[in-house]
Amino acid sequence: MKYMFRRARAAVNRCCLWGLCIAMCTGLFLPAVLAAEEGTALRESSRPTLRVVATFFPVHLFARNIAHSRPYVQIDLLIPPSSGCPHNYSPSPQDLQKLAQADVVIINGLGLEAFLQEYLATLPPDTIIVDASHGTSPLPQQAHDDHSHAGCDHGTAKAYNPHIFAGPRQAASMVYAIAAGLAQADPRAASAYQQAAEEYAARLLSLDRRLAEIGSAAQQKGVVLQHDALAYLAANAGLEVLDVIQTDAEASPSPARMLELTRRIREHRPALILTEPQFPDKLAQTLAQETQVPLLSLDPLASGPADAPLSYYEAVMAVNCNLLERSLVQP
């Protein structure tokens, strides 16, 4: 009995010793770990501010998703978030001051910011201009005899549709281009930008796959667009764009053009006329009533709230997918 008691007491002593060792190690190492973490956070917050200016809402949202873990990166939006596509935007003196103070300027590209070209040319030579369209596969602009899309003055001789942000697949390419530009300006955080871009792009490409599944299950694939901002979303879904109602954002189609549109819609019987919340849909409503083709409003994400959460693109595009699925696939 005494022998068993001595063994038990020895075991208790060993446990106490182990516990003491663990406590001592914790006491020694935990403060060091916490200090290292605090030191890293302090170094990050004490870095010189990297001033980034993004031209309009979707580009700004993409940049925020890539740099959200870098507290020293200040990302300003040039154009008010509710403005939509800049088209013929006129920069204010405050806008020009933002540009002049920027270390990095992120543009959509493909001529969408033609109004900025002369100002960008005057920026200091060390300002990094990031063209987010680099690496994308742009669609040609829609045009017809009534007006050409050049009326929007996107400023590109190649006549590409500049609304690449509205397709999740193209948006993912934009994210990688922006991450590369930020890495050029801030090489020490290059791996963090790359990792954030990969995680964000994966979510966007998941939306692209869902659009493709919806389109492949649709019996009718023809659509008419109110404006060609939705052309990339339609292309990602494998839909056929039969026509565009308003190729010039600043001018309405003529009566002759409206008659031609009515004839074409009656002849081809598209599944949907797709409108955008950023545009008045009176003309689209008229065509829908004349042809009995249903209207569906989808958001190309050219604009959004000033306090949009980082997940705003995914949330809005998921709604677009749900609406398309109900209209094209579900009975």
pLDDT band at 88 (very low <50, low <70, confident <90, very high): confident
Range of the domain at 310: 213-328
Put residue 315 in one of left, alpha, beta given phi > 0 → left and psi -120 to 50 → alpha. alpha
Q: Is pLDDT of 7 > 60?
A: no
Model pLDDT, residue 247: 82
Q: Which of 206, 235, 265 is the last residue of a domain?
A: 206
Name the pTM for this structure: 0.84
240 near 328, Cβ under 8 Å?
no
CB-based contacts of 91, cutoff 8 Å, min separation 6? 78, 99, 115, 116, 119
No. of H helices and E strands in the chain? Answer: 10, 8
The beta-strand segments (E) located in the chain are: 50-54, 73-77, 104-107, 128-131, 222-225, 240-244, 272-275, 295-297
Per-chain mean pLDDT for the chain: 86
Residue pLDDT, tens place only, 239-249: 999 999 988 77
Give mean pLDDT, residues 253-270.
Answer: 96
Give the confidence band of 158 by pLDDT, cuts at 50, 70, 90: low
Tell me, what CATH number does 130's domain have?
Answer: 3.40.50.1980
Q: What pLDDT shows up at residue 101?
A: 96
Structure-token pair, residue 179:
């991450």
Tens-place pLDDT, residues 56-83: 999 999 999 999 999 999 999 999 999 9
CB atoms within 10 A of CB 146: 15
Model confidence at 150, pLDDT cuts 50, 70, 90, reads very low
Report the pLDDT value the prediction gives residue 45, as an integer from 0 to 100. 55
On whether both 195 and 312 belong to a single domain, the answer is no
In this structure, of 2-11, 267-276, 278-287, 315-324, the range with the lowest mean pLDDT score is 2-11
- In this predicted structure, the answer to whether residue 27 has a pLDDT above a threshold of 80 is no
56 belongs to a structural domain: yes
Asked which of 206, 228, 260 is the last residue of a domain, the reply is 206
Higher pLDDT, 162 or 88: 162
Tally of structural domains, the chain? 2
Q: Contact 119/91 with Cβ under 8 angstroms?
A: yes
Rounded mean pLDDT, 94-101: 96
How many residues make up the chain in this entry? 331
pLDDT for 142 equals 77
- Mark whether 320 and 235 lie in a shared domain: yes
Query: Does the pLDDT value for residue 33 go beyond 50?
Result: no
